Amino acid sequence: MVPTVDVYELDRRALRSLATLVEELTDSELGLSTPRAGWTIRDLLEHMNTEHEAISELILDATAVLDADPRKAFGQAIARWIDAFAACPAEGSLRGPNGYADRIPVHPDTTATDRLVSALGRSPNWPAN
C-alpha cells in the first residue's frame, strides 16, 4: 500500500530548500550548462519563475512583478506559489482546463518522483525533448 502524501507540503519544503541553494548561486554559476541542451542555470531559473508565477496568478487572481535577478525572483515566485496553494481548497480546485489533469494511474512500486508526477496529471513516461 502506498502511503498518503501531502504533495503541497512536500512541494513547500522542497522549494524552500531549493531557494536556499538558488540564493547562493554566483553570477558565473548562472551561466553554467544544464543537462537540457542549450539551457543555462539562468534559463532554467527564468523558466521556473515564469511557470510558477503563471499558476500563482491564476489562483491568486493577481499579477506580481518579479525581480530581474532570477535568484531573487525565484524566492519571490515560490513565496507566491506557496501562498497560492495555501489559498486553495484541498479538493478539486487545481483540476480542469486551467489546472492539472486527473491523476494518472501508476504501479504502486514506481518511484516517488513518478508517483508525484502522476498525481499532478502528468505522465512519468513523457519524453522531455
3-state secondary structure 110-124: CCHHHHHHHHCCCCC
Report how far residue 63's alpha carbon sits from residue 14's, in angstroms, rounded to the nearest whole number.
24
Q: In Å, what is the CA distance from 122 to each residue of 35, 36, 45, 80, 102?
A: 21, 19, 21, 23, 8
Question: pLDDT of the chain along its 129 residues, tens only?
Answer: 555 667 778 888 899 999 999 999 999 999 999 988 899 999 999 999 998 898 888 778 888 999 999 999 999 999 998 888 777 655 555 556 656 677 778 777 877 667 767 777 777 777 654
Cα separation, 31 vs 18, whole angstroms:
18
* 80: number of Cβ within 10 Å: 20
Cell of 110: 514506481
DSSP character string of 2-36:
PPP--HHHHHHHHHHHHHHHHHT--HHHHTSB-SS
The answer to whether the pTM exceeds 0.85 is: no
